[in-house]
A and B are shown apart, each in its own frame.
Chain A
């Protein structure tokens, strides 16, 4: 157990639908990062939050959004889902005293049918 919790582990949904992926960072970590891993692709950075505020944005589609709540958990919302959105979605966290070296959760596997 890395200390970063992601739910659900698996999700199957239809095209056009909307889903929410949830992440609880490791205790004491203020930053949360979301990454997407599609087939044969590396880990694509989507978005970073730090202590509730958006800090950096990567290749995140407009159909996707995220937020970090006061208790530091984060949610990634994916809407108008397409077949190409099928991927592993990872959340990672770190803290200001250890700026390098993310702790990753075990991921959510999203399948869009």
Chain B
């Protein structure tokens, strides 16, 4: 049972434009969400997080939006750069399950120069 879903396996965006990566979850108990970025032959690295008490968190070119009623979050990258080309994983956890995170299947982003 996939509790965190990323329905777009891949996304291509022109350099300088906005990249929007989407993530849906089914467990209403999830209260903390993270995005990880993964390059080939490397492990995922933490990118940005958001708590359920917020609906937006910004860090430079990266912004995460959370819509709790829709159980949906999105990652916006503006402007997109070729170095952003990677696989992006969405992850979620519920505070009453300790630190166990559930991951989506990932979206492969390609930024075209």
Contact = CB atoms under 8 A, between A and B. Distances in A.
A42 B89 contact: yes
Contacts of A105: 43
A44 B3 CA distance: 11
Contacts of B34: 100-101
Interface string B41-76: 111111001000000000000000000000000000
Nearest to B106: A42
Contacts of B44: 43, 90, 102, 104
B43 A42 contact: no
Interface string B80-113: 0000000001010100011111111110000000
Contacts of A45: 100-103
Interface residues of A, number: 28
A101 B33 CA distance: 10
The size class of the interface chain B forms with chain A is 20 to 34
Contacts of A41: 105
A56 B100 CA distance: 8
A92 B9 CA distance: 24
A4 interface: yes
Contact of B45 (A2, A31, A44): A2
B2 A42 contact: yes
Interface string A1-43: 0101010000000000000000000000001010100001111
B23 to A, nearest CB: 11
Contacts of B104: 42
Interface in A46-101: 48, 55-56, 58, 90, 92, 94, 99-101
Contacts of A44: 103
Contact of B41 (A31, A35, A106): A106
Contacts of B45: 2, 104
B4 interface: yes
16 contacts: A6-B43, A35-B103, A42-B106, A45-B101, A48-B99, A48-B100, A94-B99, A100-B32, A100-B49, A100-B99, A101-B46, A102-B101, A103-B46, A104-B36, A104-B44, A107-B42
